[in-house]
């Protein structure tokens, strides 16, 4: 390896938004994360809705009450033609 071109590798403190902290090594002495192993649903077993900037609420406002339209089957089309005759 070439000397003096690599950053200093120091002990870092990682702080999660849930309040959990742990030590690791990094090129930065302090790291802030949104999700860690203590609050991630896969590891904790708790389902936690992670909303970034109100996207879930915006989706529910737009499409919350909308029901998907089902495709008309051939039976529905046949019934419709029978009633018209």
DSSP string, the chain: --TTSSPP-EEEEEEETTS-EEEEEESSSEEEES--TTT-HHHH-------STTHHHHHHHHHSS--PPPPPPHHHHHHHHHHH-
* Backbone angle region of 84, left / alpha / beta, with phi > 0 → left and psi within -120 to 50 → alpha: alpha
Model pTM?
Answer: 0.47
Query: Is a pLDDT exceeding 80 seen at residue 80?
Result: no
**Cβ–Cβ contacts within 10 Å for residue 18, how many?**
15
Q: Mark the binding-site residues, compressed into ranges.
A: 16, 18, 36, 39
Q: Mark the binding-site residues for Zn(2+), compressed into ranges.
A: 16, 18, 36, 39
**Considering the chain, what percentage of its residues have pLDDT values greater than 90?**
24
Q: How many domains does the chain have?
A: 1
Query: Is a pLDDT exceeding 90 seen at residue 74?
Result: no
What's the confidence (pLDDT) of residue 31?
Answer: 93
Whether 68 is in a domain gets the answer no
Q: Kindly report the CATH number assigned to the domain that includes residue 29.
A: 4.10.80.400
The DSSP bridge partners found for residue 22 are 14
Question: pLDDT by residue (tens digit) across 12-47?
Answer: 999 998 888 999 999 999 999 888 888 877 766 776
The whole domain housing 26 covers: 1-63
What's the confidence (pLDDT) of residue 24?
Answer: 94
Confidence grade of residue 66 (pLDDT, cut at 50, 70, 90) = low
């Amino acid at each position: 390896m070439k000397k003096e071109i690599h950053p200093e590798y120091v002990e870092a403190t990682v702080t999660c938004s849930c309040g959990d902290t742990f030590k690791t090594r990094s090129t930065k002495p302090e790291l802030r994360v949104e999700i860690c192993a203590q609050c991630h649903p896969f590891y904790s077993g708790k389902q936690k809705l992670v909303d970034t900037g109100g996207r879930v609420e915006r989706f529910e406002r737009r499409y919350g009450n909308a029901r998907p339209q089902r495709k008309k089957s051939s039976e529905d089309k046949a019934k419709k033609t029978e009633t018209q005759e």
